[in-house]
Amino acid sequence: MIRLFVNVDHVATVREARKTIEPSPMKAALLAEKAGVQGITIHLREDRRHIQDDDVRLIQKKISTKLNLEMAPAREMVDLALAIQPHQVSLVPERRQEITTEGGLDVCSQEKSLSKIREEIQSKGILFSLFIDPDLAQVDASQRIRADSIEINTGKYTELVSPDEIEMELERIRKSAKRGAEHGLKIFAGHGLNYENVQAIAAIPEIEELNIGHFIVGQAIYCGMENAVTAMIRSIEIGRTQRRN
């Protein structure tokens, strides 16, 4: 079974547009759980543009599933993660001027510093994951620093239009997933996924967890969080059936 973690960051984006208390990412997380997800993902950015520190603490306290905390490999964030102790920490690259995460972490150039963070995180019993592009060199570097898992960036795949280019990118993702699994890494994927393009990703046998947020939150405006999550679970199941066939 492929696990679905729902990212509720953009519920907080709407709230922060007015600097008020609604809508609540915590309430959205509870509705996603009610619909059957296995976990909640939130990204605490250094500029606090959406999720706030109090959100992290409240969601960690209130949810009954597992919390995946996305964050930059920065001292401030490491200290907060060590204090809150989520189920998992996922390191992502971060630039202040970007609208959303634009690419995977360059593990190859940061092996020493990332290894030190990994030691601190794992010492508290927290799982340690890295968000990387589908690149074999980055997969190998993730294994060398002894990450528990990698999340393969599907962003480029979701933006392509040409069938040939889509298939080429899918093959990169498949090869990266296979290499990571051979290294003993748990394989996750996410970024830009919707009801249609998620199916080919769910069909990749090594992938066991998906992180999906923006599309689900957007659909929830039309049909409600529970219905949006349920529809995504159905799409993932279709992809999983394709994998078996």
135-168 tens-digit pLDDT:
999 999 999 999 999 999 999 999 999 999 999 9
- Give the orientation angle of helix 25-34 with respect to helix 53-62, to 10 degrees: 30
Question: Which one from 70, 94, 151, 206 is the annotated catalytic residue?
Answer: 70
Q: Is the pLDDT of residue 99 over 80?
A: no
The reported pTM is: 0.94
- Tell me the CATH number for domain 3-244: 3.20.20.70
Q: What is the pLDDT of residues 200-216, one digit of tens each?
A: 999 999 999 999 999 99
Amino acid 1: pLDDT: 81
Give every CB contact of residue 177 below 8 A, 6+ residues apart in sequence: 134, 152, 187, 189, 204, 205, 206, 207
70 is catalytic: yes
pLDDT tens for 5-26 read 999 999 999 999 999 999 999 9
Instruction: State yes or no: is 183 an active-site residue.
Output: no
Q: 222 near 185, Cβ under 8 Å?
A: no
Cα–Cα distance measured from residue 66 to residue 89, given in angstroms and rounded to the nearest whole number: 11
Which of 10, 33, 43, 209 does the annotation list as catalytic? 43
When the pLDDT of each residue in the chain is averaged and rounded to a whole number, the result is: 95
Instruction: Give the H/E segment covering residue 173.
Output: helix 163-182
Q: Kindly state the helix (H) or strand (E) to which residue 210 belongs, with its residue range.
A: strand 207-212
Check if 214 is active-site. no
Catalytic residue among 50, 94, 169, 191: 191
